[in-house]
Structure 1
Amino acid sequence: MERKPDAGTSPLEVLARMDQLIALSLVGQHTLAERLGINVTDLTCLGFVLGAGEEALTAGRLAELAGLTTGAVTGVVNRLEGAGYARRVPDPDDRRRVRIVPEKDSAARIAVAYEPTYRRLTELFESYGPEELAAISDWFTRAADAMRISLAEIRESPAP
């Protein structure tokens, strides 16, 4: 992991390396989900639930974030409840709606699963200086924005 960047790397070479990372990440997510007793869509949704913090998500909002129908989210929440990762609670403002909240130990259970990967990535990030970390952080932020736009375009366009 001591390898430093080559100043002559082209954008296409970086894109190819990013594709490799994404492919490995997808395989890793599937493997982790399986190990946690859920599927990768459920794991993704659980990430949104955990990321919401005190602002518990409605099923509709979870559907929006995950790009799922509300019917599909019902199945996701049923499975997350069954596996002990989340539960439904009444919306305090509208008793007709429910909010999805994590079970108390969900974050800790997920953290244990991700710990080896996060430890290695933290070690990798620590090998960079403050300016490099700022550039990496900026890239992740801007790349996520670009991916959100691309995802919306994909969802709105006809299949090739």
Structure 2
Amino acid sequence: MAGKERPRSTPEQAHAQMDHLIALGIVAQHHMAQRLGLNVTDLTCMGFILEAEGAGTALTAGDLAQRANLTTGAITGVINRLERAGYARRRSDPGDRRRVHVVADASAAERLSEVYGPNYRRIAALFADYSEEEIAVLSDWLTRATAIMGASLEEAREAEAG
């Protein structure tokens, strides 16, 4: 469909479609977590760990707690479960022995890819239907929408804390 005329949609219709996608994504995450022997919070944290490593950094336990909006006590439980399941491990920070980094097990990305791979391949095929210019617009929209969702999350956290 690259370069072909697309169906018209109003912003309200697109917003409703986005809400549906988000809801379906939440349900899918629960299912994927079950398949991997995790709960959705642990799977989310594993995603943060892999994302950080992909960017060339390792998260501290505190960083992970902040990203997941969990207490340090709760993140200890998450890390314990990820270690028991063979997805992650603790690594002492050589510069500060009190600090612990959480790193992915060597097989973690492959194990997650086995479950997520079919969906990623379908999404890749969907992107192939779009031109480079259309993908640039989609990428821009997703980036900006992510920033809006992040700001909304921060507002909710501040309201909860205050």
Per the TM superposition, whether the score is higher than 0.5 is: yes
2:122 to 120, 123, 126: 120
Q: Give 1:6 deviation, angstroms.
A: 2.1
One-letter amino acid of the structure 2 residue matched with residue 5 of structure 1:
R
Partner of 2:101: 99
Q: Deviations along 1:54-75, whole A, 9 cap, x unmatched?
A: 4111000001111111111101
Partner of 1:57: 59
Residue 21 of structure 1 pairs with residue 21 of structure 2 = yes
Count how many residue pairs are aligned between Structure 1 and Structure 2.
Answer: 158
Closer, same or farther in 2 for the Cα pair 1:19/1:4, shift >3 Å?
A: farther
Q: Deviations along 1:56-115, whole A, 9 cap, x unmatched?
A: 110000011111111111010000001000000101110011110000010111111101
Residues in 1 aligned to 2:143 and 2:71: alpha-carbon distance in whole angstroms: 27
Any residues of structure 2 matched to 1:1-160 within 5 Å, and which?
Answer: 5-7=6-8, 9-53=9-53, 54-157=56-159
TM-score, scaled to structure 2: 0.92
Residues in 2 aligned to 1:133 and 1:124: alpha-carbon distance in whole angstroms: 11
Task: Give 5+ residue unaligned stretches, structure 2.
Answer: none
Q: Give 1:4 deviation, angstroms.
A: 6.4
Q: Give 1:149 deviation, angstroms.
A: 0.2
Residues in 1 aligned to 2:96 and 2:157: alpha-carbon distance in whole angstroms: 30
One-letter amino acid of the structure 2 residue matched with residue 80 of structure 1:
L
For residue 95 of structure 1, give the secondary structure of its aligned residue in structure 2: strand
- Structure 1 runs of 4+ aligned residues shifted over 3 Å read 1-5
Q: Give 1:5 deviation, angstroms.
A: 3.3
Task: Give 5+ residue unaligned stretches, structure 1.
Answer: none
Percent of aligned pairs with the same residue? 55
